[in-house]
Amino acid sequence: MHLVLYPSLSLPTDSAEEPEKQKEEVYLKAYDSIVEARTSLDIYFTFYNTERRHQRLDRRTPDNVYYEATARKVI
């Protein structure tokens, strides 16, 4: 059994980035099971939000932007 995910929406990336980078883990990847797909995507989304820097976010990660905004609201 192979699962192939074809998400209908694009990942939010800067248009200046290479189109292939937008695909990364999510597009056209075959998984042998739901567990494998969930595990692989969990690892990818953790990387995407905590380590991968985004041009539109001034080379910051989504987590950095979120937690900075949250900290400003608390103060």
Predicted confidence (pLDDT) per residue in 26-72, tens digit: 677 788 999 998 998 898 889 989 999 999 999 999 999 999 988 88
Tell me how far CA of residue 4 lies from CA of 7, 25, 37, 45, 53, in angstroms. 10, 12, 9, 17, 27
Q: What is the pLDDT of residue 21?
A: 54
CB 25 within 8 A of CB 49: no
Backbone angles phi, psi at 5, to 5 degrees: -95, 130
Q: How confident is the model at residue 9 (pLDDT cuts 50, 70, 90)?
A: very low
Strands (E), 1-75: 3-5, 29-31
Instruction: Tell me how far apart the alpha carbons of residues 25 and 17 are, in angstroms, rounded to a whole number.
Output: 16
Name which residue leads in pLDDT, 12 or 73.
Answer: 73
Q: What is the pTM of this model?
A: 0.60
